[in-house]
Structure 1
């Protein structure tokens, strides 16, 4: 079966209503896997697969479970390759919060990404906290998870600013990947040494 066909089956599986309400749908799962691909710390497959589903799905049989899990692992590897290729990652949704941000796919993607960050939060900020925080900002804004916080509340009131930030996400991902996975290639991003 081609990878495209596998992805179609994965998407149907993740977007079905039977899954646990806290399980990530396809778009959110894509965000989640993107975060895991960028993080400097490898999370064990079993751990992130279980986290993605929140509780074990009711698979028809072991073959379906193996296929879905294998496709998730392949998708994560595919995302990693895309990020490493230095092309802006193509997201599986429009970079647009629309009139109802809570219903937008990009919000779901950003929430999924943040779930991936939360799995190993300390690891994200241990090398270049300032740069990482700056690059994560568009995703944090897009997720809506932080709207209660003052600096985010101001941004959330400005629809144009929100849209501008969300449109920066693919570039931010490329920069985050380089910063976390290939810091030597980007010496300009590193903090100056204090003498």
Structure 2
């Protein structure tokens, strides 16, 4: 089965109604995997797969389970490759909050991304807190998760500004990936330590 066919199958599985209501749908899962790809500390597969579904889905059989989980892992690797190639990542949805932001696909994608950040929040902010915060801002705005905070409420009310920020998400992702994964940031880890 081609990767495209696997993705179609994954999408149908994640978008089905019978999944747990806290589970991420395909677009949110793409955001989530993008965050995991950017995070400088790998999260164990079992942990992030279980968190994505919230509770174990009812698979038809082990073959389906293996196929869905393998496709998720492959999609994450695919996203990582695209980010590492320094190309702006193409998101699986329009960069548009539309008439009802809560209903927009980009909102779901951003919420998924933030779920991925929350899995290892301390790691994201440990080395370059200000830059990371600034680059995450468009995604945080898009997610609507922070709208009760005054500065986010102000941006959300200014639709033009909110839309501009959401448009910047692909560039922000590339910058975040480089910031958190650039080898020159971590030379100390590579040198053998002499005690």
Confirm whether residue 46 of structure 1 aligns to residue 46 of structure 2: yes
Report 1:1-195 matches (<5 A): 1-182=1-182, 184=184
Give 2:192's aligned residue.
none
| Alpha-carbon separation, structure 2, partners of 1:140 and 1:40 | 19
| Alpha-carbon separation, structure 2, partners of 1:80 and 1:182 | 13
Q: Unpaired segments of 5 or more residues in structure 1?
A: 186-195
Q: Give the alignment's Cα RMSD to 1 decimal.
A: 0.8
* Pairwise CA distance, 1:184: 2.4
Residue 102 of structure 1 aligns to a residue whose secondary structure is: helix
* TM-score, scaled relative to structure 1: 0.94
Q: Unpaired segments of 5 or more residues in structure 2?
A: 186-195
**1:139-172, Cα deviation, whole Å (9 max, x unpaired):** 0000000000011010010011110000000000
Residue 148 of structure 1 aligns to a residue whose secondary structure is: coil
* Pairwise CA distance, 1:51: 0.2
